[in-house]
Amino acid sequence: MARVAAVLKALARAVARDQKSVESVVGNNFFFVSALLLRQAGTFIYLIIGLVLLFPLSTDPLRKIPASRLALWPLDARDHRLLRVLSPWINPMTWLLAGLALWAGRGKITLGLWALAAGLVAAGFLLSDLPFAPADSLKRSIPRFPGLLNQLIRKNLREILSTLDIYCALLLSLLTLLFRLLGRPLPKEALLALSILVVLALSSYAQCLFGLDGRAGISRYHLLPLRGWQILAAKDAALLAILILLLLPVAWLAGMAAALVALAFGHGPSVQTVRPQMRWRFSTGSSVMLGILQAMSMGAAGAAVFLSSTWFVLPCAVAWLISLWAAGRAFERGAA
Amino acid sequence: MITCRNLTRRFADFTAVDSLSFEVAPGAICAFLGPNGAGKSTTVKMLTGLLPPTSGTVQVCGLDPAAKPIELKRQIGVLPEDLGLFDDLTVEEHLLLTGAVYGVDRHVTRERADQLLHALSLENGRRTFAASCSHGMRKKTAFAMALLPNPRVLFLDEPFEAIDPVTSKIMREILESVARRGITVFLTSHILSVVEQIATQLIMIGGGRLVWDSPISELPQDLEKHYFEMVETPVVEELEWLGSPRS
């Protein structure tokens, strides 16, 4: 039992350090803006948002120990069984689920909602045992781009594909497309709101553009004979290429104006402090205040383009260019 | 090709590199030796323009790394301490990226990449993402990236660690061959037997200060003995809890 307790203690420490999931929910623009917009909908909608956003937490804690290490430790079959039974309780999601079960028992939530939550947690638990990454073939199918930044843009696209933000935006975009294909009329303003939401889903990523490069990637950037603005431009090109596609079913020009503003706000924090991000999590922005400012400016830019004149794209592009140049210089200075 | 004068780098109260002065001639293979934490990587970072010195001057290929970083980067190849690979690029894509950003023609890049992949036994892993590569494969990829643009100076931070004996031999031969063509090689390593075979110049540092600088031919004794004498003497503690030795 002492051996199992020692392993569980180490696991608990590892899980406690894996706070990125909770942090990412708090620091993600899409989460807090959705929560503000939907506050009239009550507890139910918060529960749904919470469950979806906390989904990445639903991993099997035992996976934190490399299988080869676990096999090397002098643990007998009984120890392994105990670990299998006890380790899920290290995950806060298991306790949350148990709490929800109590609520369901008292009739505070429906059994169906509890089953949905349990299904999400179980799916996360089982998927953590699988190579939960886009198949290599998908990563390899990314098209080539002209110019010397080709490989960097492709790499950046692959990075974006390994965040949850893109799938959130994709879901919004696909649902809108489906709605329009079915011939349902959408109010004009709804298109604007949806295009802003699509960009919003990726706006926290714009604040941590180097978060998935790791220390080694950053050091390589500084060794390449490229200017800082070129490295940032490769980041932006990847994000904008994805957004162009996602914005096609909605108001794409208004969305692109919002995207340029999101990037203009994101360049500075991206190069000032590299905030390491985790794959298969929502991106964590640099601060809630900046997130609010970014989201409001995106909304204003999108609305100006959509409701007044398409020429409003120009000041957005100028702001983006200035920020690209300034942050590029800052990136070069931060070579150490 | 490389000149340092009173090169110093401080981090708050800690002096990582202290008044280092040395010169490395074109075509030399200079081994830069010292224990962990002696200031080797900090020095390499200053020589490659990644870290500005607190004081002192550096010239590499006649350029000041702090003043002309991009121009310098075009002339040097670097295998950094952390290898500097992107998880989301394959081995081959790293080489294609290098060719593109160093201005090497696309066909020439392809040819050189194929040759390097073959020479370093990376052909089978060329389409493997760096995240899935073994440490040895990653090191060989970073080595190939340093060589591909045909630089004037090669900076290699511990190139032989975690490399299989055959590839290590190939890498040594490549380095000797590039040095014969006038390319300067500046490397750090803890594998003294390899250093002894290929280096033409030895620089040793301890606690951030220069303790030895000479051509290898002028060493007064074999390298290992000299290193222990000049830099650090190993102290082996008796681990009595392992039990008494068998006779």
**B85 in reach of chain A (CB within 8 A):** yes
Q: A149 to chain B: which residues are within 8 Å by CB?
A: 100
CB atoms within 10 A of CB A297: 17
Q: Which residue would you say has higher pLDDT here, A93 or B204?
A: B204
Compute the count of residue pairs across chains A and B with CB atoms less than 8 Å apart: 76
Residues 194-223 of B with CB under 8 A from A: none
- In a domain, residue A172? The reply is yes
- Do A199 and A309 belong to one domain? yes
Residue A260 has pLDDT above 80, yes or no: yes
Cβ pair A217:B69 closer than 8 A:
no
Nearest chain B residue to A155 by CA: give it: B88
CA distance, residue A26 to nearest chain B CA (Å) = 27
pLDDT at B233: 81
Of A139, A140, A227, the CB nearest to B70: A227
Q: Is the pLDDT of residue A131 over 60?
A: no
CATH number at residue B57: 3.40.50.300
Same domain, B96 and B131: yes
Evaluate whether residue A138 is within a structural domain.
no
Identify whether B238 is part of a domain. Answer: no
Q: Which of B129, B150, B171 is the last residue of a domain?
A: B150
Question: Is B246 inside a domain boundary?
Answer: no
Task: Tell me: do A98 and A230 sit in the same domain.
Answer: no
Q: Are residues B9 and B69 in the same domain?
A: yes
Residues B70 and B89 reside in one and the same domain: no
| pLDDT over 60 at A91, yes or no | yes
Question: Does residue B46 contact residue B53 with C-beta atoms inside 8 Å?
Answer: yes
Pick the residue from chain A with its C-alpha nearest to B84: A216
Position B214 scores a pLDDT of: 94
Q: Cβ A155–B49 below 8 Å, yes or no?
A: no
Domain boundary (A59, A93, A127) is at A127
> A246 with A210, same domain?
yes
Distance between CA atoms of residues B142 and B119, nearest Å: 14
| Residues of B in Cβ contact (< 8 Å) with A159 | 88
Task: State the ipTM, two decimals.
Answer: 0.85
Phi-psi region at A316: left, alpha or beta (left = phi > 0; alpha = psi -120 to 50): alpha
Domain count, chain B: 2
pLDDT band for A46, please (50, 70, 90 cuts).
low
Determine contact, residues A8/A87, Cβ cutoff 8 Å.
yes
**B111 in the same domain as B90:** yes
Domain count, chain A: 2
Residues from chain B that touch A154, judged by Cβ atoms under 8 A, are 89, 93
Per-residue confidence band for A93, with pLDDT thresholds at 50, 70 and 90:
confident
Comparing B134 with A280, the larger pLDDT belongs to B134
Say yes or no for a CB contact (<8 Å) between A213 and B86.
yes
Q: Would residue B241 count as lying in a domain?
A: no
Q: Which domain, by its residues, includes A191? A: 145-333
pLDDT at site A24: 57
Assess if residue B5 is contained within a domain: yes
Q: Are residues A116 and A13 in the same domain?
A: yes
Q: What is the spatial distance between Cα A266 and Cα A260, in angstroms, rounded to a whole number? A: 10
Per the model's pLDDT, the better-predicted residue between A134 and B127 turns out to be B127
| Residue A49 pLDDT greater than 80, yes or no | no
Interchain CB distance below 8 Å, A151 and B96? yes
Residue B42 and residue B108 in one domain: no
Q: In terms of domains, do B70 and B136 share one?
A: no
| Domain final residue pick, A97, A127, A157 | A127
Distance of alpha carbon A102 from alpha carbon A95, whole angstroms: 11
Task: Name the β-bridge partners of B209.
Answer: B206
Same domain as A9, residue A94: yes
Question: Looking at this protein, which amino acid is placed at residue B41?
Answer: S
Query: Do B8 and B40 belong to one domain?
Result: yes
Let me know whether A155 and A121 are in one domain: no
B45 touches A at CB < 8 Å: yes
Query: Are A335 and B101 an interchain contact pair (Cβ–Cβ within 8 Å)?
Result: no
- Residues A206, A320, single domain; the answer is yes
Flag whether residue A145 sits within 8 Å of chain B, measured between CB atoms.
Answer: no
Domain containing B139: what range?
Answer: 81-150
Residues of B in contact with A215 (CB under 8 A): 82
Report the residue from B48, B88, B100 with minimal CB separation from A155. Answer: B88
Distance CA B188, CA B202 (A): 10
Better-predicted residue by pLDDT, A43 or A262: A262
What pLDDT band is residue A101 in, cutting at 50, 70 and 90? Answer: confident
DSSP secondary structure code for residue B81 in this structure:
T
B109-117 contacts at long range (C-beta below 8 A, 24 or more positions apart): B109/B148, B112/B148, B113/B144, B113/B148, B116/B144, B116/B147, B116/B148, B117/B91, B117/B92, B117/B144
Query: Which residue among A149, A162, A225 places its CB closest to the CB of B102?
Result: A225
Do B201 and B146 share a structural domain?
A: no
Q: Within this chain, do residues B203 and B220 fall inside the same structural domain, yes or no?
A: yes
**Residue B174 located in a structural domain:** no
Residue A234, pLDDT score: 97
Dihedral angle computed from the Cα positions of residues A77, A79, A84 and A86, in that order, rounded to the nearest 10 degrees: 160
Q: Does B110 touch chain A (CB under 8 A)?
A: no
Q: With a cut of 80, say whether residue A126 has pLDDT above it.
A: no
Is B240 part of a structural domain of the chain?
no
Q: What are phi and psi of B24, to 5 degrees?
A: -125, 125
- The answer to whether residue A26 scores a pLDDT higher than 80 is no
Type of residue at A4: V
CB of A105 within 8 Å of any CB in chain B? no
Domain-located, residue B166:
no
Do A223 and A163 fall within a single domain? Answer: yes
So what's the pLDDT on residue A152? 97
How confident is the prediction along chain B (247 residues), in pLDDT tens digits per residue?
899 999 999 998 899 999 999 999 999 999 999 998 889 999 999 999 888 999 999 999 999 998 888 999 999 999 998 999 999 999 999 999 999 999 999 999 999 999 999 999 999 999 999 999 999 999 999 999 999 999 999 999 999 988 889 889 999 999 999 999 999 999 999 999 999 999 999 999 998 999 999 999 998 888 888 888 888 888 888 888 888 887 6
Assess whether A62 and A94 both reside in one domain. Answer: yes
Distances A28 to A294, B41, B178 between C-alpha atoms, Å = 12, 37, 51
Q: What is the pLDDT of residues A57-79, one digit of tens each?
A: 667 788 778 877 888 888 888 88
- How many angstroms separate the CA atoms of A326 and A300, rounded? 23
Residues B62 and B100 in one domain: no
Residue B71 covered by a domain: yes
Flag whether A328 is in a domain: yes
User: Do B142 and B88 fall into the same domain?
Assistant: yes
Do B2 and B68 lie in one domain? The reply is: yes
Residues on chain B touching A332 (C-beta within 8 angstroms): 69
Beta partners for B153?
B76, B184
Q: Which has the higher per-residue pLDDT, A139 or A264?
A: A264
Interface of A with B in 84-103 (CB under 8 A): none
Tell me the mean pLDDT in the region A4-29.
74
Q: Is the pLDDT of residue A42 over 70?
A: no
CA distance A173 to A178: 9
Q: Which residues of A touch B127 (CB under 8 A)?
A: 140
